[in-house]
Amino acid sequence: MRQNPPLSPAPASTNVKYLFYQSGDAPGVVADYVPFFYVEARVDFNDIRTGFRSMVSLNKALEFHPIGLDLSLVADMVYEIDPQRVKSSPPPAARYARLPEFVDPGFMSQMETQFIRYLLNSFKAKVYRNSVLDAYSDAGESLPDFTARCMDLLGGARREDLDALHDVFNRKLGQIEQKYLTDTVPENFELAKTASQGRDIFSDYLERIAHLFLQPKPVPESDGFRSPRSGLEMEERLQSLETEAQQAIAALWDSYGEKAKSVDEYILHPNLKDVHIVRTCILWIPARVG
């Protein structure tokens, strides 16, 4: 490569700004530098339909080649640049490749236009949509996080359905109470004792079943199992009703879980108004890096 002074470019490149990529070499090491088209850009997503908003900063470099003006850019022609290593001052020791003669302000403007076209075609953001809620994910929100948020958003409707289901089981409890318990206190001591025991058992199951509908998640059937204490037919009916309530609650939660997972994936591309070029210039990059 030919050694050129870093601030003495070819005449055709007058008025084109230069920046330098920090090589990371040890002091005194002379590195060869080659020129790239460098662009700092910002993409501001503000999609009205989905409500998706996001700001993404980009730092990219492209090789200089006149043929590139007649071709569309593809991903492997655009290189990611660490902005923390871009400096305005040249390195103390460097050898610079000759800058192509066609690089001038007009060429740089055409490269900028080509880069904008590349962003419009290739840059994208992934958005998730829940078809039940007609809700969209936020910027940076993962699918599991979005699904969990949808489950929370469905909480109001789920609570209403749980309350309605609870009413159904309260009616069933009322039927059991009406069949097995009476307001009349038997005169016989043993019968009175059995009636009192029956009311205690009924009250216990009434609270247990009500408790099931207040939990933040379904209670497994194994957690609610208990052996009958009295041998009364009423207790067997109550135990069966408790199991039925657990199964019904679990099924309702599962149905809402499916609603929360009813998600489609959308890809958003920026509009021209979303793309903002911060600056463009020539970036000298160590040949071993470039």
Tokens of 186: 């038997």
Is pLDDT above 50 for 9?
Answer: no
Q: Is 138 exposed, middle or buried (0-12, 13-18, 19+ CB in 10 A)?
A: middle
Whole domain around residue 244: which residue ranges? 146-260
Is pLDDT above 80 for 229?
Answer: no
Please check whether residues 239 and 273 belong to one and the same domain.
Answer: no
The position carrying tokens 């007009």 is 106
d(CA 83, CA 89): 14
Is pLDDT above 60 for 222?
Answer: yes
Is pLDDT above 60 for 202?
Answer: yes
- Domain presence at residue 176: yes
Q: Which DSSP string do the residues of 5-16 spell out, in sequence order?
A: -TT---GGGTT-
Confidence of residue 4 (pLDDT cuts 50, 70, 90): very low
How crowded is the C-beta side of 132, counted as CA atoms within 13 Å? 15
d(CA 192, CA 171): 26
Please check whether residues 161 and 246 belong to one and the same domain.
Answer: yes
Please check whether residues 22 and 120 belong to one and the same domain.
Answer: yes
Residue pair 239/228 in contact by the 8 Å Cβ criterion: yes
- Domain presence at residue 168: yes
Tokens of 217: 């998640």
Tokens of 16: 């084109």
d(CA 220, CA 223): 5
pLDDT-above-70 percentage for the chain: 83
Q: At what angle do helices 143-153 and 155-180 cross, to 10 degrees?
A: 50
pLDDT of res. 132: 95
- Domain presence at residue 138: no
Q: Note the pLDDT tens digit of each residue in 14-63.
A: 467 899 998 766 666 778 899 999 999 999 998 888 889 999 999 999 98
Compare 221 and 52 and report the one with higher pLDDT.
52
Is pLDDT above 80 for 90?
Answer: yes
How crowded is the C-beta side of 221, counted as CA atoms within 13 Å? 12
Give the alpha-carbon dihedral of 20, 79, 278, 23, to 10 degrees.
-20
Q: At what angle do helices 233-260 and 155-180 cross, to 10 degrees?
A: 170
pLDDT of res. 194: 66
pLDDT of res. 198: 80
Please check whether residues 106 and 195 belong to one and the same domain.
Answer: no
Please check whether residues 160 and 107 belong to one and the same domain.
Answer: no
- Domain presence at residue 137: no
Is pLDDT above 90 for 210?
Answer: yes
Please check whether residues 104 and 162 belong to one and the same domain.
Answer: no
Please check whether residues 234 and 194 belong to one and the same domain.
Answer: yes
Tokens of 219: 């209670």
Confidence of residue 99 (pLDDT cuts 50, 70, 90): confident
- Domain presence at residue 2: no
C-alpha 167 chain-centroid distance: 38
- Domain presence at residue 3: no
Compare 229 and 111 and report the one with higher pLDDT.
111
Q: SS3 for 33?
A: strand
Query: How many separate domains does the chain show?
Result: 2
Give the number of residues written for the chain.
290
Please check whether residues 159 and 82 belong to one and the same domain.
Answer: no
Find residue 96's DSSP bridge partners.
33
Please check whether residues 110 and 183 belong to one and the same domain.
Answer: no
- Domain presence at residue 154: yes
pLDDT of res. 71: 65
Please check whether residues 106 and 180 belong to one and the same domain.
Answer: no
Please check whether residues 168 and 230 belong to one and the same domain.
Answer: yes
Please check whether residues 114 and 199 belong to one and the same domain.
Answer: no
- In this structure, of 112-121, 174-183, 223-232, 278-287, the range with the lowest mean pLDDT score is 223-232
d(CA 85, CA 23): 8
- Domain presence at residue 135: no
